[in-house]
Amino acid sequence: MENKQTETVLRKPDWLKIKVPSGKRYLSVREVINEHKLHTICTSGHCPNMHECWGRGTATLMILGDICTRSCKFCNVKTGKPLPVDWEEPKRVAESVRLLKLKHVVLTSVDRDDLDDGGAAIWALTVKEIKKVNPGTTIETLIPDFDGREELIMQVVDAGPEVVSHNLETVRRITPRVRSRAKYDTSLKTLEIISGSQAVSKSGIMVGLGETPEEVLQTMDDLRSVGVEVMTIGQYLQPTKKHLPVTEYVTPEQFEEYRKVGLEKGFRFVESSPLVRSSYHAERHVQK
């Protein structure tokens, strides 16, 4: 007789329950985003903090379209062949930041391995346009790894964002199973280049993918060894049945322990709790 294995689905604990998005500020942000044909990782990534961030008038804007050339096993962003680069996008983003009256904005993007420069030129132009139209706004750029190419990473850094972030996503052992093309050491190289610049360097990981606490602590050491100043740690949530399953719901107490240890290891900021995502409380991290 054929034995069929059944996948155990973990029940989501109470501390991961979120509010349904609502409120005038939330609706105002959504209206501007829709009107200007912007993409956000808030919606593409099904971020659990969207109600909170949009409710206080902030959002993480995603440039270079909404189709990624990579297919990481944790991410709900669409994958496939992206549309051509829209060179008018930087102006629309800058104008939207003005309409949203943002004091701090986070930019991210899909991976664009189809482009010779990985999209670095659009990245730099978008930062410069935001600065020109919104001189009082600070910026965090959550960038791809650009295959570790220093000249491309520095195009973004030299445009002048206050914070440059690149997510390691998970511990070394699990990286090949979770990320489709990105490599652990390439990400560390990218972060080392950022750390040597004038910008604040930042990275984040998810937990609940089968890592051990010891591996999380080693990842902290790896990030500190290349000069990373800010770290975020949040619970992995399975977007769809096609994605990797959650192996564990890490307790709030364990997240708090990670936060304390991270600060002891020398990070200036550690945002660590179940619903934390890379851009959560990003406005705190600007000070170099």
Average pLDDT over residues 230-244: 91
Strand partners, 109: 63
Average pLDDT over residues 192-208: 97
Residues whose CB falls within 8 Å of the CB of residue 259, separated by 6 or more in sequence, listed in order: 233, 270, 271, 272, 273
Using the predicted structure, report yes or no on whether residue 247 has a pLDDT greater than 80.
Answer: yes
Q: Nearest-CA neighbor of 93 among 120, 57, 123?
A: 123
Structure token pair of residue 129: 């346009």
Using the predicted structure, report yes or no on whether residue 197 has a pLDDT greater than 60.
Answer: yes
Using the predicted structure, report yes or no on whether residue 58 has a pLDDT greater than 80.
Answer: no
Residue 252 CA to its chain's centroid (Å): 21
**Which pLDDT value is given to residue 11?**
79
Output 208 or 288, whichever has higher pLDDT. 208
Q: How confident is the model at residue 2 (pLDDT cuts 50, 70, 90)?
A: very low
Residue 26 CA to its chain's centroid (Å): 21
Q: How confident is the model at residue 14 (pLDDT cuts 50, 70, 90)?
A: confident
Using the predicted structure, report yes or no on whether residue 264 has a pLDDT greater than 80.
Answer: yes
Q: How confident is the model at residue 286 (pLDDT cuts 50, 70, 90)?
A: confident
**Which pLDDT value is given to residue 239?**
83
**Which pLDDT value is given to residue 277?**
80
Domains assigned to the chain: 20-285 (3.20.20.70)
Using the predicted structure, report yes or no on whether residue 223 has a pLDDT greater than 80.
Answer: yes
Using the predicted structure, report yes or no on whether residue 279 has a pLDDT greater than 80.
Answer: no
Using the predicted structure, report yes or no on whether residue 26 has a pLDDT greater than 70.
Answer: no
Residues 11, 6: Cα–Cα separation, whole Å: 15
Answer for the pair 103, 137: CB distance below 8 angstroms, yes or no: yes
